[in-house]
Amino acid sequence: MSTDASLAPGTLTTTCCIAGGGPAGMVLGLLLARAGVDVVVLEKHVDFLRDFRGDTIHPSTLQVMDELGLLDDLLKLPHNKVSKVGVQVGNTPVDFADFSWLPPRHAFIALMPQWDFLDFLADKARAYPGFKLIMQAEVVDLIEENGRIVGVKANTPQGPLEVHAPLTVGCDGRRSTVRAKAGLAVEDIGAPIDVLWMRISRLPGDPPTGGRIDTGSFIAVLDRGNYFQIAYVIPKSGIERIKEAGLFAFRQSLGKALPFLAARVDELKTWDDVKLLSVTVDRLRTWYRPGLLCIGDAAHAMSPVGGVGINLAIQDAVAAANILWKPLRDGTLTTFDLAKVQHRRTLPTRITQRLQVLAQNRFAQPVLRSTKPLEVPWLLRLLGRTPLLQRIPARIVGVGVRPEHVQSPALPAVPVR
């Protein structure tokens, strides 16, 4: 992986400065560079190696990779395919989402470490001369001239760096510095849950990826080959109470909920093996200012429900590239072009967040509060009994609302003047 830190310190000029090298930033960087636009991506970490991120590559993202001619290469990386998802309510298993009817090349979710995916995107993007990725460059401020954002200030190990560009895109995630510095108003939608993430080894014969719901407990188990990635849903801010009860009690409750793992729960040696995701659902009222746009989690932090966060961020990036590549290349970018990106992506964001909030409030929260044995909810019963209907949740989760297709071209880069 390149650290490209030799570019710092000093000042750089580019056409599009992207703050944050997550899924949104890397896909936007790749698409713009491919369309001949000069881009600089600034990523604050030294590498992409971060555990327990969105590791679910959905059919919509597989389709985008296919449209770019990258799918076969991507799927050479180690991954697990999930084409049906079920949940066990008490002792009753119920299938509820079937991806297998989608176009065969995209008829599954690929579970792949996010760092492998981001490394892959970085490698492919470097094939374009207009692409620069600078690692260990943390954006700390915006540069503003006459009410217009004209670049960013970043800190690097070599000292301060200024990147000047007609467009800055905040792809720096749900705690976005860019959106805070731009003073963009955030609508906090709230979430009644948090999630504890952990990994426990997986043995041959263990059950596949799926959910486990029982009295007071809601858990998702993701098959990651030789281990399970486990999402243990807790009430909002419930971590203190769980920690007070102690790790032994937590392991016991995990073993009770997942009996096939009971003999392995002591792989959780300390609380450091249990990572808290404080769930946030929010969105910006306006995603842009003159010279600045936010996309991905920086524009709308997503709940982990449905594992759609990465995919929605990538859909934003595809839409942004489709709309912006030409005005960026021709030097005709206006604030109206930025408004078009928000206009295009607001509906999918709102509908997806609405469904996530419904699932959190109507399903997850009542399960966590339950004290009596649970019945399989009528909707799940219906889905379980009617395989054809299982295509609907697969469509919503896997493809999403208003799927984007790559329309930006592959052109040689335009040198920066």
Ligand X SMILES: Cc1cc2nc3c(=O)[nH]c(=O)nc-3n(C[C@H](O)[C@H](O)[C@H](O)COP(=O)(O)OP(=O)(O)OC[C@H]3O[C@@H](n4cnc5c(N)ncnc54)[C@H](O)[C@@H]3O)c2cc1C
Distance CA 67, CA 279 (A): 32
Residue 151 touches ligand X, criterion: CB under 6 A? no
Chain residues 173-192 in contact with ligand X, contact rule CB under 6 A: 173, 177
Task: Give strand pairing partners of 117.
Answer: none
Amino acid in position 230: I
Should residue 112 be labelled a site residue for ligand X when binding is judged by CB under 6 A?
no
**180-186 — which CB contacts under 8 Å span 24+ positions?**
181/141, 181/142, 182/142, 182/149, 182/289, 182/292, 182/294, 184/284, 184/285, 184/286, 184/287, 184/289, 184/294, 185/284, 185/285, 185/286, 186/282, 186/283, 186/284, 186/285
Among 30, 37, 125, 139, binds ligand X (CB under 6 A): 139
Q: Is 45 in the site for ligand X (CB under 6 A)?
A: yes
Tell me if 86 contacts ligand X by CB under 6 A: no
Burial letters for 97-112: b for 16+ Cβ neighbours within 10 Å, e otherwise?
bbbeebeeebbbbbbb
* Candidate list 172, 214, 337, 404; residue touching ligand X; CB under 6 A: 172
In the list 96, 99, 128, 197, the residue contacting ligand X (rule: CB under 6 A) is: 197
Residue choice 14, 38, 44, 294 for contact with ligand X (CB under 6 A): 44
Check residue 138 for interaction with ligand X (CB under 6 A).
yes
243 near ligand X, judged by CB under 6 A: no
End-to-end CA distance of the chain: 28
297 versus 329: smaller Cβ distance to ligand X: 297
Maximum C-alpha span of the chain: 69
Q: Which is nearer to ligand X, 96 or 197 (CB)?
A: 197
Residue 55 binds ligand X, judged by CB under 6 A:
yes
Please work out, in degrees rounded to the nearest 5, the angle formed at the alpha carbon of residue 241 by the alpha carbons of 238 and 243: 105
CA distance 1 to 115: 11
Least distance between ligand X and beta carbon 235 (Å): 17
By CB under 6 A, the count of residues binding ligand X is: 35
Q: Name which position in 22, 151, 166, 384 contacts ligand X (CB under 6 A).
A: 22
CA distance 101 to 104: 7
* Binding residue (CB under 6 A) for ligand X from 15, 16, 23, 337: 23
User: In angstroms, what is the minimal distance from the CB of 335 to ligand X?
Assistant: 22
Which one of 29-37, 95-103, 166-174, 335-343 is the stretch in contact with ligand X (CB under 6 A)? 166-174
| Overall size of the chain counted in residues | 417
Interface with ligand X includes 19 (CB under 6 A)?
Answer: yes
Count CB neighbours of 375 within 10 A.
11
| CA pair distance 321, 125, nearest whole angstrom | 14
Told to check if 277 binds ligand X by CB under 6 A, we report yes
Contacting ligand X (CB under 6 A), which of 20, 86, 151, 291? 20
CB of 297 to ligand X, least distance (A): 4
228: its two tokens: 């399970």
Stretch that binds ligand X, among 17-25, 70-78, 286-294, 383-391 (CB under 6 A): 17-25
Cβ distance to ligand X smaller for residue 231 or 258: 231
Q: Which stretch binds ligand X (CB under 6 A): 42-50, 200-208, 391-399, 405-413?
A: 42-50
Q: Are strands 167-170 and 159-164 parallel, antiparallel or unpaired?
A: unpaired
Beta strands in 68-171 (DSSP E): 80-82, 84-89, 92-98, 109-111, 131-134, 138-145, 148-156, 159-164, 167-170
Q: Residue for token digits 């243990």? A: 232
Whose tokens are 């830190």? That residue is 5
The answer to whether 67 touches 30, Cβ cutoff 8 Å, is no
- Per CB under 6 A, does 62 bind ligand X? no
- Shortest distance, position 114 Cβ to ligand X, whole Å: 7
CB 304 within 8 A of CB 277: yes
25 or 36: CB nearest ligand X: 25
Closest distance to ligand X from the beta carbon of 388 (Å): 26
| By CB under 6 A, residue 21 contacts ligand X | yes
Site map (CB under 6 A) of ligand X, residues 294-333, x = contact: --xxx---x-x--xxxxx-x--------------------
The residue ranges that bind ligand X (CB under 6 A) are 19-25, 42-45, 52-56, 138-139, 171-173, 177, 197, 277, 296-298, 302, 304, 307-311, 313
